[in-house]
Each structure stands twice: as structure tokens, then as C-alpha cells.
Amino acid sequence: MSISRTFAARLMALLVIVGLAGCGASSAPTTAPDAPATGAKTYSDMVLCYPQLGAESDWRTANTASIKETAATLGIKQLVFSDAQQKQENQISAVRACIQQGVDVIALPPVVEDGWDAVLTEAKNAGIPVIIVDRSVSADKSLYSTHIGSNMVLEGERAAAEFNKMMPNGGAILELSGTTGSGAAVGRAKGLRNKLNSNITIIDSQTGNFTRAEAVPVMQALLKKYTPGTDFQGIFIHNDDMGIGVIEVLKAAGIKPGDLKIVSVDGTRGGFQAMVDGWFQADVECNPLLGPQVFELALKLMNGQPVEPEVITNETVYYPENAAELLPTRKY
């Protein structure tokens, strides 16, 4: 009795979430443009679970929108969406609820790399394929079907190349990193260190957890500890939201755009504006618009078709020179 009541309550909660997401449409097209042979599953059969990790940044907001919009456009049967508020335990509970519901595919953007083995094993035992989206996991590759996302190490390497260009005679930089233990922060930190010239020193590295709000006090504390221009000449910031927080602090301290060399990551509208205003000297692209590829992979997995084990997003670096021109075309 109590078990079935718990299950019913969970199911209701999931239905409410989907209702809010506005993606439970049943009147949508029943076949995809590239509909497979008779008997094969189509998008109208698909129940996809997306336990989003949070809403910490503009990148994340755009990623959520991409998933919801693609689900609606393709007319999938149900999108089971939730927001874990940057807490791994919430994500794990959401995955477990999806396994219990018997979804077709789980697409998981993991908040941190470690600690997924148990729940991924549960999904595997239940026969539910898992697509790891965006950040990576440290779990064995046999526990999930594929990973789609950016090469975070390459992003850090690209940032290093910018500092090498801007500081040919060397110097010192600070690093404001993303969520501790997240694939994005680990990769970017590693990439920076891989390629930074030996005459450029990282004198301090602190986390701002990928949010503007948390970056502000961290930068304030760093400014108390180090004198800009003398102790350090540049800052590597792991995302644009934190970068915007940093700019607030620098402005309040009387620092002018261009006094420090700043490189950020994502390429959001906020990041482009920071380039237009002269604060960022480069913004390393990280593309959140993964919806179409995620659903395409999910459909293949539902039909037992093979997929690439790793799908890497194609990205670039943006510069102030054409930031004003590109800003109106930015989708996030």
C-alpha cells in the first residue's frame, strides 16, 4: 500500500514537472522527418529524462531552453525535466525516479565528475540507456552509451594561448574557477596549465561555483590580498556569469577596462557585452545548444542503433574586434 502510494506520489510529481515544462504535448507530429522503418520507434514514442543540474548561469538557461524547445518541436511523448540546484544528491534522486518510471532514455548533465557509478549501474540494469551531456563523468564508459559536450581541456588551452599572446614577457594571473569537481572546471584548469607559457604564473585559484553571486565576494577577497597591475596582470575566469561579477568588483575598486587582461569562457551575450565594453580581451566559446543532437542520439539508442561513444562540440574563440557586430546574432 505505502509502496504504491509513494510511487503514485512520485509519478504525480514528475507529471507536474513536465506540465510546468510545457512539453507533454501529445498532439505533435508522430513521425520525425527521417522516420525509421516500420516497427521502429519515433519521437512520438519517446519519454526522455533530463535531470538538469541547476540554473546557475546563462549557459545553463540556454541549455535548458534548447532541451525543452527541441522536445516540443519534435513532439516527443514526454520530457521528464527537473532542476537539481547544483546538488548531486538531487540529481541522483531524479535519475532514480526516472528509472522507476521506466523512461526510454536518460540524458544526464552531471554537476560533478565522481560518484555516479551506483546510479548508472542501476540504469544499466534497468535497460535504460544513458547519454552523458555537457560535463563528463569519471565512471567506467561501459555504464553509459555516449557523452556529448565540449572539450573542456581544449577550452582551457585556448585561454592559455590568449594569455601567451597578450603577455609575451610573462607575468602573473589569477584564476576564478567553476564548481569544484565538475568536468568543466577540472578540464579548463588542466588545459590552462597544459599550455600556459612558463613565464606566466597562476598566483591564486579560487572557485566562484559558476555563479555571478558567488564570484563577487571571491573577487573582493582576492583584491584585498593582491594589488592589480603589480601582483597580477590578468584573470582567467571559467564562465561569463562569474566574469560579470568580477567586472562589478573591479569597477567598484576604480579599475578601468583594459587595465587587466581578462579571458572568460562561454560566449554568452553578457560575455560579448563585456568585450564590447573593453573588459574581456577574449571569450572562449562553449555551446549550450545541444538539444537537437541529444534527441537524435536518444532516438538511435531507443532503436538499438549504434552511436559514437563521444560527440564533441565544434567551438571557437571570440574577440572584441567583432563583438559588437556579432552581439545581436547571439542566441544565448
Binding residues for ligand GYE, rule: CB under 6 A, are 56-57, 59-60, 134-135, 150, 184, 210, 239, 241, 265-266, 286
Residue closer to ligand GYE, measured from CB, 109 or 257: 109
**Residue 181, Cβ neighbours under 10 Å: how many?**
16
**Residue 54 CB, nearest distance to ligand GYE (Å)?**
8
Q: CB-wise, 104 or 266, nearer to ligand GYE? A: 266
Q: How far is CA 13 from the centre of its chain?
A: 25
CA-CA distance, 25 to 71, in Å (whole number)?
9
Tell me whether residue 56 or residue 104 sits nearer to ligand GYE (CB atom).
Answer: 56
Question: Residues 161, 138: contact at Cβ < 8 Å?
Answer: no
Nearer to ligand GYE, 104 or 162 (CB): 162
Residue 315 and residue 313: Cα distance in Å, rounded? Answer: 6
Provide the minimum distance between the beta carbon of 6 and ligand GYE in the complex, in angstroms, as a whole number: 33
Question: Minimum CB separation from ligand GYE for residue 10, in Å?
Answer: 28
- 3-class secondary-structure state, position 42: coil
CB of 172 to ligand GYE, least distance (A): 24
CA distance 264 to 285: 9
Q: Which of 62, 234, 215, 95 is nearest to 162 (CA)?
A: 234
Closest CB to ligand GYE among residues 104, 155: 155
Beta carbon nearer to ligand GYE, 59 or 81? 59
Asked whether the beta carbons of 51 and 277 are under 8 A apart, the reply is no
Closer CB to ligand GYE, 233 or 273, in the complex:
273
| Helices (H) then strands (E): counts for the chain | 11, 12
CB 189 within 8 A of CB 143: no
Strands 317-318 and 282-285: antiparallel
Packed helices 240-252 and 212-225: angle between N→C axes, nearest 10 degrees:
50
- Classified as helix, coil or strand, 306 is coil
Contact 170, 196 (CB under 8 A): no
Name the nearest CA neighbour of 265 among 329, 187, 206: 187
Closest distance to ligand GYE from the beta carbon of 77 (Å): 28
| Minimum distance of ligand GYE from residue 7's CB (angstroms) | 32
Q: Which is nearer to ligand GYE, 75 or 243 (CB)?
A: 243
Q: Name the minimum Å distance from CB 65 to ligand GYE.
A: 14
Work out how close the CB of 281 gets to ligand GYE at its nearest, in angstroms, rounded to a whole number. 18
